[in-house]
Chain A
Amino acid sequence: MSELNYGLSELALEIRAMVREFAESRVKPVRAELDETGHFPTEILRELGKMDLMGLYIPAEYGGTFEGDSMPNLIAVEELSRICIGVSVSFAANGLGADPILIGASDEQKKKFLPPLASGEKWAAYALTEPNAGSDAGSIRTTAVKKGDKYVLNGTKQWITNGGEADIYTVFAVTDKNRGARGVSCFIVEKGTPGFKFGKKENKLGIRASATRELIFEDCEVPAANLIGREGTGFIWAMKTFDVSRPGIAAQAVGLAQGALDEAVLYAKVREQFGKPIIANQGLSWMLADMATKVETARALTYATVQSIDRGAKDYSKFSAMCKVYASDVAMQVTTDAVQVFGGYGYMKEYPVEKMMRDAKILQIYEGTNQIQRDIIGLALNKEYGAVAKK
């Protein structure tokens, strides 16, 4: 298939081939079953770990293979997503959980917590959202009170991806109620810590293989050594994490949309009505053309964002938000259109596009809803043009 030359490194191309083959041979045969049963893809993640693919974003000194090129990890997410985003989010959430450590933790903390993540021996999760703090993440109520060389955590996190499955959690809690977002701190909490429990696995519309659970903290004592950075810096880590993780959601969206496009074109070539394949109808082939164009635009914006971050861009929240919002909207449209191309068959669970359409919806919601992304972009525009106006 023809493709644009995005100047991908040899490593990125190697990873693409590896993960593509892996997803086809290991994920595709079980995706419908995982969707149906909601079983967590434990075996699949274990195998990805054995293949050294869980440490693509972690620098070599901490056991990974990252050397300044974020594309290999992004492409691994994209290729898994092409087959199943229930699986790809379970893979990618490790990176999300580890990001606050990579961004804000001390060398000592990194040396302790990152190597088992890089090897895939342990998994991670990121815990910000609470029942009453979704889009308004600054209003979280989980508290952490210092007691000697410990912090005591109390409160409940909600809808935490990899909750219960992960071993290492980056948890945001309020250490100073009076300082609002500046009173939030980030802690590394290990599974098995007394007072740290999980709620039941949520029953979801899509990405059903992924585990989404509540985290419950009841007088949970966490070593003070597990505080990332200083007290009150948590919200900074949270937001910086999103700036680098949102392109990952965009990569899920690009992969998912590509997968739906693949299915739709192949089907349109074999399904015959009125004595010819349905792709021979202009009305339908134009639909496919629009789908393909959107997928490639989303991919281009996502890759460009990540590549400029790698090249040292300073201000990229706007672009991270743009690729997340654009690609996830594209994924929703393209998967919906793919169902349309399949007609009634597309509405049946036997064909994969039904699941893809259900799966797509989450991309417009998590890691900041698309309204919030547009807020970020709008805010940036306001700021940037304000600066110009003043000049």
Chain B
Amino acid sequence: MHIVVCVKQVPNTTQVRINPETNTLVRDGVESILNPFDENALEMALQLKEKHPGTKVTVLTMGPPQAAEVLKEAVGRGADAVVLLCDRAFAGSDTWATSYALSTAIRKMEPADLVLFGKQAIDGDTAQVGPGVADWLGIPCVAYARKIEVADGKAVVERNFEDGYEKLDVALPCALTVLKEANVPRMASLRGKMAAKKLVIAPMTAEAVGADPAKLGLNASPTRVVKIFSPPPKTGGVKWQGEEPAVLAQRLADLLRERKLI
């Protein structure tokens, strides 16, 4: 079996803070990490490899040269091969263009039986790339998967929905986006880390994967960011009292909506 895991290097958004005076992002000291949900996708692949000897796990990322770090982390945990898709031509890609670029790289590889993604990336939070890649590849995709069993060229997958879950029968090849509850990701082994340290990762260019330049990067991305702003600053705590419960409740509901908290 050949499993491709798509991962992304993301800023650790839990460390990001807003400077209350300037109301801008304080990025100092924010480290770049392997997207936490992608860890679950990788772990699912590695567990399948343990269960099905002979399985090869390839980890793919598109990003700047520094993104090689997350590939090294993946090698440390047991990935067999890595691909870094890196080219200025990809800059500014939205999910449409990103899914196209990733799909071209996957097509270049030996045929994949499974293509795994994390549920979403914590910086963009879109959850669109996994289904998008599946579409470019023309394979089925199950989003929000929490469990998989593979036998006889097909998979039985459990996927969550809002108030329950479903068991699905899926023919391979297919794509999954993997939930956090699927597993507990392993940590890298010492030998894996050593191997990763020595690893030289040669970036693959858009040309090398045969990507159509018209479908790449900012220009090929249908969506445009026209404005970036900080959410209304968090005011100090307020305490409301002495009014009717219904009035207070309404005010709170309005405030939550206004602050886009729900």
Contacts and interface: CB of A to CB of B under 8 A. Distances in A.
Nearest to A55: B190
Interface in A37-82: 47, 50-53, 65
A22 interface: yes
A253 B188 CA distance: 27
Interface in B190-220: 190-193
Interface string A1-45: 000000000000011001001100100000000000000000000
A21 B187 contact: yes
Contacts of B186: 47, 50-51
A22 B191 contact: no
B66 interface: no
Contacts of A25: 187
B190 A52 contact: yes
Contacts of A18: 187-188, 190, 193
Nearest to A52: B190
A50 B187 CA distance: 9
A51 B192 CA distance: 8
A25 B184 CA distance: 11
Contacts of B188: 18, 51
A52 B194 CA distance: 11
B223 interface: no
B19 interface: no
B15 interface: no
B37 to A, nearest CB: 17
A174 to B, nearest CB: 40
Contacts of B24: none
Interface residues of B, number: 8
Nearest to A10: B197
B190 A15 contact: yes
Contacts of B192: 52
B193 A22 contact: no
B126 interface: no
A50 B193 contact: no
Interface residues of A, number: 12
Contacts of A21: 187
A52 B190 CA distance: 5
Contacts of B190: 14-15, 18, 51-53, 65
Contacts of A22: 187
A21 B192 CA distance: 16
Contacts of A14: 190, 193
A137 to B, nearest CB: 35
B189 interface: yes
Interface string B171-196: 00000000000000011111111000
Contacts of B191: 52, 65
A58 B94 CA distance: 50
A155 B186 CA distance: 43
A51 B188 CA distance: 6
A88 B261 CA distance: 44
Nearest to A65: B190
B189 A52 contact: yes
Contacts of B193: 14, 18
Nearest to B185: A25
Contacts of A53: 190
Which residue among A15, A50, A51 has the maximum number of chain B CB atoms within 10 Å of its CB? A51
A52 B188 CA distance: 9
A33 to B, nearest CB: 16
B17 to A, nearest CB: 21
Contacts of A50: 186, 189
A18 B73 CA distance: 12
A25 B39 CA distance: 15
A18 B76 CA distance: 12
A47 B190 CA distance: 12
A286 to B, nearest CB: 32
Which residue among B186, B190, B192 has the maximum number of chain A CB atoms within 10 Å of its CB? B190
A150 to B, nearest CB: 38
A52 B187 CA distance: 11
17 contacts: A14-B190, A14-B193, A15-B190, A18-B187, A18-B188, A18-B190, A21-B187, A22-B187, A25-B187, A50-B189, A51-B186, A51-B187, A51-B189, A51-B190, A52-B192, A53-B190, A65-B190
Interface of B: 186-193
Interface of A: 14-15, 18, 21-22, 25, 47, 50-53, 65
Closest 6 pairs (CB-CB, A-B):
A52-B190, A51-B189, A52-B189, A52-B191, A22-B187, A51-B187
Given A18-B188, A47-B187, A51-B190, 14 more contacts: A14-B193, A18-B187, A18-B193, A21-B187, A22-B187, A51-B186, A51-B187, A51-B188, A51-B189, A52-B189, A52-B190, A52-B192, A53-B190, A65-B191
